[in-house]
Amino acid sequence: MAIVAPAANPFLCSSPSLSTPHPSRRFALQCLPSRTSHKPLLSKRSIRAPRASPSSSSSATEESQPPKSKAAEEGDQYEVELDKPYGLKFMKGSDRGTYIDAIAPGSNADRSGKFTVGDKVIATSAVFGTEIWPAAEYGRTMYTIRQRIGPLLMKMEKRYGKLPGAADLTEREIIRAERNSGVVSDRMQNYLRKQQQKEQRQNDLREGLKLYRPTMLKKETFVILFLIEIMANFLIHSRSGKYEDALEKFESMLGSRPEPDEISVASYNVACCYSKLNQVQAALSALEDAMKAGYEDFKTIRNDPDLAQARASEEFEPLLKKFDESFINESAINAIKSIFGFNKK
């Protein structure tokens, strides 16, 4: 027997009973009575636009965006041959690779029109000859670039201004890092990261000094950086240093965006190592970097036996006089005296 819906609500109805071969089994479709007899079944709140599934939305986004080329996904590569001075400043990435940090305006690298800040070095010319060496970790790559004899061929990976470091993390890795960070603020995380980088730079500098001048390195130089700087000015007599290994440590430290005082110390020791290896141009280049960063002990530079090979170059004195204020002031005084005739007898 079918159940009849109340007549007060014409929207509610029941279906007739279904006849089946088994009369004992009868089924009836019944609509539940509504709680209010004068409201429509569908209210305004219950009418909602259908939600797009994630697959459909992602497919729509993919259709709206132009497809990326395979070269863009893998990273375009290019080759450039440069003469010295190159006009490139390099930095060490989180993967210990070598990246372009800055391009000097008007330099050979700038005039080539191919380099972009953030591009990665993937291969370079060997120290001499036509052989191409795959880029190793930062310190070794810089050692090769500085010592290169003749034009330098560089094979690069285009990164379109994307610097190495945090930007290389995927979205999932960033979310995971944020989730694991707890209540630590971004500022605190940056501070801790910088402290860690500074400790690594100082460790590289210490290791380089141990390899460069091991017999006279005192334990006190392991304490803080300014003690290392003081000792570095006087550790000039050891001849048993492993200069190539020391260079790798010094160069690695220089690629980590150090402070100016750290740059001056490391660059000066790099210059000494190259001079001991009779790589005069590399020594002069590193010495110029040291003085640009504020190294002002010109008396030591003029008397350090480790710089003997560099001092023999005709380019040494002109380079030093560009930064030695005492020489500049003396020249200016002599020029004034000559103008007013003070030097005349």
Q: Are residues 147 and 232 in the same domain?
A: no
CATH number at residue 122: 2.30.42.10
Q: Are residues 254 and 140 in the same domain?
A: no
Alpha-carbon distance 2 to 19, whole Å?
A: 12
Is 84 domain-assigned?
A: yes
Is 46 domain-assigned?
A: no
What was the pLDDT predicted at 340? 54
Q: Are residues 226 and 109 in the same domain?
A: no
3-state secondary structure of 341: coil
Q: Are residues 295 and 234 in the same domain?
A: yes
Q: Are residues 133 and 212 in the same domain?
A: no
Pairing status of strand 152-157 against strand 132-134: unpaired
**Residue 244, CA distances (Å) to 141, 150, 249, 277, 294 in order:** 12, 20, 9, 8, 25
Question: Residue for token digits 């909602």?
Answer: 48
Query: Residue 109: which domain range?
Result: 76-162
Alpha-carbon distance 282 to 84, whole Å?
A: 11
- The model scores a pTM over 0.85: no
Can the peptide bond before residue 305 be classed as cis, meaning omega within 30 degrees of 0?
A: no
**What is the mean pLDDT, run by run of 10 residues, along the chain of 345 residues?**
46 45 44 46 44 46 45 70 91 88 92 92 91 88 86 92 57 49 56 67 65 46 40 38 75 76 83 89 90 89 92 93 70 55 53
Q: Are residues 153 and 199 in the same domain?
A: no
Is 39 domain-assigned?
A: no
Number of domains observed in the structure of the chain:
2
Q: Are residues 201 and 318 in the same domain?
A: yes
What was the pLDDT predicted at 189? 64
Q: Are residues 236 and 117 in the same domain?
A: no
- DSSP string over 51-76: PPPHHHHHHHHHHHSPPPPHHHHH--
Q: Are residues 104 and 217 in the same domain?
A: no
Q: Are residues 221 and 288 in the same domain?
A: yes
What was the pLDDT predicted at 269? 86
Q: What angle do CA 304, 310, 315 make, to 5 degrees?
A: 125
Spatial CA neighbour of 251 closest among 215, 220, 294, 211: 211
Is 1 domain-assigned?
A: no
Task: Quote the tokens at residue 264.
Answer: 């001056």
What was the pLDDT predicted at 251? 78
Q: Cα 136 from chain centroid?
A: 16
Instruction: State which H helix or E strand residue 155 sits in.
Output: strand 152-157
